[in-house]
Structure 1
Amino acid sequence: MKYMMFVITDSSPDTERDESDVDGWVDELDASGKRVIGEVLQAPAESRVVRVRDGKRYVTDGPFAETKEWICGFDILEVADLDEAIEIASRHPMARNGQLELRPFMEWDEVAGA
């Protein structure tokens, strides 16, 4: 199964800060083939929100929502199941210093059958 793992900042990190190296986490998962790709994103101020309403395009400078938490990166994981994705996410340093959201990719055969 494929999961998108959003890496999210958090205004209240764990008091017991995890100083482990993200590069070590990445290297381990890349070597195992469990991490398909991952990137760090620029700050929300660099984002743009695009909408089309009544045939007219609207572009708004980000961030669109006022929040203290924001997506600062992502990883795509290829794993056996949700339990494995959770185990991998719990080892990421941002599990203590931020938060991680796991979202499964939609299987196209599920969409076709819907």
Structure 2
Amino acid sequence: MPVFHQSDAVVYETHGSLFRSFVTPSRGSRELCAWQLTVPAGLIGVEHRPDREEVLLVVAGDLVVTVDGTTATAHAGSVVLVPAGSEFRVDGGPSGATAWVTTTPGLEAVTADGTRIRPPWAR
């Protein structure tokens, strides 16, 4: 059973947040991708529309999430389901947050201005 440690993560910074990638097809997974997301306090995220479902488990702090125009605060221990095709934005709460995110390989998203995002942590 592969075990990945923090030191094994491939780290990306995008739109002010950190993405620590652990599980991807390029690292041996066939059906899942998983990464740790760190969002700084007060960060306003970028609205995007993912083409696959995502699940976020908040492990520390608070995330302010907006899905299809509905905004809620997700505290440590909360789980957020982001449906494929929904308009989604994640903002940092007052102290920032850390979450684990999972999806299926090949995730792509489109921002409000039409920019296509193909995150390497989902490849």
* TM-score (structure 2 length as normaliser): 0.28
| Structure exhibiting the larger radius of gyration computed from Cα positions | 1
Which structure has greater strand proportion? 2
Greater length-normalized contact order (CA 8 Å, ≥ 6 residues apart): 1
Which structure has greater helix proportion? 1
* TM-score (structure 1 length as normaliser): 0.30
